[in-house]
Amino acid sequence: MNKHHESTGPSDEQQITLRGPAELADALPYLMGFHPNDSVVMVALHGGRGRFGGRLRLGIPQSAHEWPSVAEQLAECLIKGSERRGGRPDAIVLFLCQDPAEGETGSQTMERLRPFAQRLRTACGALDVPVLEALCISGDRFWSYVCPDARCCPAEGNRLAMQGTSVMAAAAAYAGIQVRGSLREMESRLAPQPGGAGREQQRALDSAGSALVPKLLDEESRKEVGGATLDLARRLMERLGQAPASTPSLSDLNDDRLISHEEAAAVILGLQDRETRDRAAEWMEGPEAQSALRLWRALARRCVAPYEEHAAAPLTLAGWVSWSTGDEPAARVALGLALRLDPGYTFAQLLHEACNQGLDPETLRRCLRGERSTRTVRRGRGTGRVAGARSVRVQAAGRRRTRPGSGRPDTASGRRRTGQLRSQGRRGTRTGR
């Protein structure tokens, strides 16, 4: 076993020393805020004591042919991102997390992923940053790709510590840090549910698309659609806000019942307009934030096939509100899903990067407050003009948080699409990113 120490802490006043692979494996869910299924996670270490710094997560590519290029991109992303935040990593800790496939053992999973781990180690080494530890977590066991000593790292792996029994778990509980299940469970709250309701929602989206596409192609009518979309969204937020609080799963079911298929379709299609979406992003703080978040999640669940890409707008808004209200794990999950559906969705790209670089969301909140104030002033002067919210751009030079931020993940790559309106047949309309 490698005798090294990594220090991290939920607060500046408390530091926890982690010794060896077992404690590193146990700490991973607390570092991310969830159990990262089917993921590669890289964490930067700084200083002689190995203070945790930036971190990134990406789904493990299914094709081994992608591993070399993905490894190079991830290594560059984490190291260059750390440098932009003012500190080049002194080392990196690597995690590969994947449950065994059908008919496969955890040990076989570990061996199957070994070439990917080696590619990642080589890519980091090529940038003069060593990988201090590389772990595979599969099922209820973990393996080290670095330690050659079978006495502490046997071929059959080591069993993970019972949840909640480690020093890291105790420190996280003391600091109020929660692990909200697995990444798969968090994503399921945002995914469309199959069945009869999905078919009804599809028909509602088809009908709404036929009515709204011609209007969105006309500038004046587009503004009318935008206003109607925001008015309906406000009414739905008020309706959701009046519903009693409940457990997350039951709350999702109640929210889905409170929104009709026709209402969901109208708001989903209206949010494909960039200016309408940017104005909806102003509901990011105060009493309206939680109602808005519930609405965006509910709308993401209504983006059934073949309208999956339309979920990029409500998912990005859900990610923005989560980040604005301090829930970074939920923000990363929602923004990651948005980019998985539409890699060229610029708003999600910018928010994803800013969130993971540790920027302060207050910079963007001030911008959105200013947009709202400008429209209010213009209305008061009787100009008859309503300034559309400009497309938000998060600058990397913005004010950073005082606490350490997370590493910049390798945002989903893909062609950048134009902001022009495009028709997708039954999929309706998309107007900008």
In a domain, 342, yes or no: yes
| 12 Cβ contact list (under 8 Å, min separation 6) | 403
CA distance linking residue 259 with residue 265, whole number of Å: 10
Q: Which two tokens stand for residue 322?
A: 């989560």
pLDDT of res. 310:
96
In a domain, 361, yes or no: yes
One domain, residues 143 and 201: no
**pTM score:** 0.73
* Residue 327, Cβ density class (10 Å: 0-12 exposed, 13-18 middle, ≥19 buried): middle
For residues 98 and 60, the answer to whether their CB atoms sit within 8 Å is: yes
Instruction: Please report, in tens digits, the pLDDT of each residue of the chain (433 residues total).
Output: 443 333 333 334 456 666 678 888 888 888 888 889 899 999 999 987 778 888 888 899 999 999 999 999 999 989 988 888 778 999 999 999 999 999 999 999 999 999 999 999 999 999 999 999 999 999 889 999 998 888 888 999 999 876 655 666 556 655 556 677 788 889 999 999 777 778 999 999 999 999 988 898 888 899 999 999 999 999 999 999 998 767 777 888 899 999 999 999 999 999 999 999 999 999 999 889 999 999 999 999 999 999 999 999 999 999 999 999 988 889 989 999 999 999 999 999 999 888 877 778 998 999 999 988 888 777 766 544 433 334 444 443 344 443 333 333 433 333 333 233 333 333 444 555 6
In a domain, 163, yes or no: no
One domain, residues 335 and 408: yes
One domain, residues 137 and 199: no
One domain, residues 199 and 54: no
Q: Which of 133, 163, 184 is the last residue of a domain?
A: 184
In a domain, 67, yes or no: yes
pLDDT of res. 413:
32
In a domain, 211, yes or no: yes
Domain that holds residue 348: 189-431
One domain, residues 146 and 226: no
In a domain, 70, yes or no: yes
One domain, residues 144 and 225: no
One domain, residues 300 and 373: yes
DSSP output for 335-348:
HHHHHHH-TT-HHH
CA distance linking residue 37 with residue 101, whole number of Å: 13
User: How would you label 181-220 residue by residue, b for 16+ Cβ within 10 Å and e otherwise?
Assistant: ebbeebbebbebeeeeebeebbebbbebbeebbebbeeee
Type of residue found at 131: V
* Nearest Cα residue to 222 out of 265, 271, 261, 260: 271
Q: Which of 162, 184, 206 is the last residue of a domain?
A: 184
pLDDT of res. 335:
94
One domain, residues 194 and 318: yes
One domain, residues 205 and 340: yes
The helix/strand/coil state of 247 is coil
In a domain, 170, yes or no: no
pLDDT of res. 151:
86
Domain total in the chain: 2
Please compute, for residue 341, the number of CA atoms within 13 A of its CA located in the half-sphere on the CB side: 26
| CATH number of the domain where residue 137 is located | 3.40.140.10
CA distance linking residue 208 with residue 206, whole number of Å: 6
Type of residue found at 196: G
One domain, residues 256 and 401: yes
User: CA dist 244 to 189, 250, 256, Å?
Assistant: 19, 11, 14
One domain, residues 131 and 209: no
Q: Which of 184, 210, 244 is the last residue of a domain?
A: 184
pLDDT of res. 175:
57
User: CA dist 35 to 150, 184, 186, 282, 409, Å?
Assistant: 27, 8, 10, 31, 17
One domain, residues 251 and 393: yes
In a domain, 232, yes or no: yes
